Structure 1
Amino acid sequence: MPLSRRLILAMPALAAAPALAQPADPRLADRGTGRPDAPVTVTEFYSLTCSHCAAFHQNTFPMVKRDLIETGALRLVWVDFPLDQLALAGACVARSLPPERYEGFISALLANQDRWAFTRGDPREELAKMAALAGMSRGKYDEVLADDGLKRAILTQRQAAEQQFNISATPSFSFRGRKTVNQSGDMPFDRFKQLVEEARRG
Structure 2
Amino acid sequence: MNNKSIVLSVAVFGLILLSVAAWFFVRPMFMRAAIPTEQTLAVLRPHSPIIGPEDAPVTIVEFFDPTCEACRKIYPVVRDIMAEYGDTVRLAIRYVAFEGKGSVEAIRVLEVARKQGVFQPVLEALLRDQKRWAKDGAPEQELIIQISTEAGLDPEAARTQMLEPIIAATINQDRADAEVLGVTQTPTFFVNGRSVNSFGEAELRALVNEEVAASRK
TM-score if structure 2 supplies the norm length? Answer: 0.67
Contact 1:170/1:185 (8 A) holds in 2: no
Distance in 2, Cα, partners of 1:111 & 1:186: 21
1:92 to 95, 100, 108: 108
Contact 1:42/1:175 (8 A) holds in 2: yes
The yes-or-no answer on 1:37 pairing with 2:55 is yes
Q: In the TM superposition, what are the counterparts of 1:166-185 in structure 2 within 5 Å?
A: 166-176=182-192, 180-183=193-196
Distance in 1, Cα, partners of 2:177 & 2:137: 32
The equivalent of 2:11 in structure 1 is none
The yes-or-no answer on 1:73 pairing with 2:91 is no
> Could you tell me which amino acid in structure 1 is paired with residue 156 of structure 2?
G
Show structure 2 runs of 5+ residues with no match. Answer: 1-40
Larger-Rg structure? 2
Contact 2:196/2:203 (8 A) holds in 1: no
Show structure 1 runs of 5+ residues with no match. Answer: 1-17, 23-28
The equivalent of 2:170 in structure 1 is 154
Q: Deviations over 1:33-77 (max 9, x none)?
A: 22333231111110100111011114x123123212xx2221211
The equivalent of 2:150 in structure 1 is 133
2:210 to 195, 198, 201: 198
Give the number of the structure whose residues are more often helix, by fraction: 2
> Could you tell me which amino acid in structure 2 is paired with residue 88 of structure 1?
V
Distance in 1, Cα, partners of 2:170 & 2:196: 22
Alignment size in residue pairs? 171
Q: CA deviation at 1:165?
A: 2.2
Counterpart secondary structure, 1:36: coil
Q: In the TM superposition, what are the counterparts of 1:13-28 in structure 2 within 5 Å?
A: 19=42, 21-22=45-46
Contact 1:44/1:174 (8 A) holds in 2: yes
The yes-or-no answer on 1:163 pairing with 2:183 is no
Distance in 1, Cα, partners of 2:164 & 2:178: 21
Residues 117 and 198 (structure 1 numbering): CA distance in 2 closer, same or farther, change over 3 Å?
same
Residues 184 and 108 (structure 1 numbering): CA distance in 2 closer, same or farther, change over 3 Å?
farther
Residues 186 and 49 (structure 1 numbering): CA distance in 2 closer, same or farther, change over 3 Å?
farther
Counterpart secondary structure, 2:94: strand
Contact 2:125/2:148 (8 A) holds in 1: no
The equivalent of 1:5 in structure 2 is none
Residues 182 and 41 (structure 1 numbering): CA distance in 2 closer, same or farther, change over 3 Å?
same
Structure number with greater CO (CA < 8 Å, separation at least 6) is: 1
TM-score if structure 1 supplies the norm length? Answer: 0.72
Contact 1:171/1:185 (8 A) holds in 2: no
Q: Segments of 4+ in structure 1 off by > 6 A? A: 119-122
CA RMSD of aligned residues (A): 2.7
1:143 to 145, 160, 163: 160
Contact 1:50/1:170 (8 A) holds in 2: yes
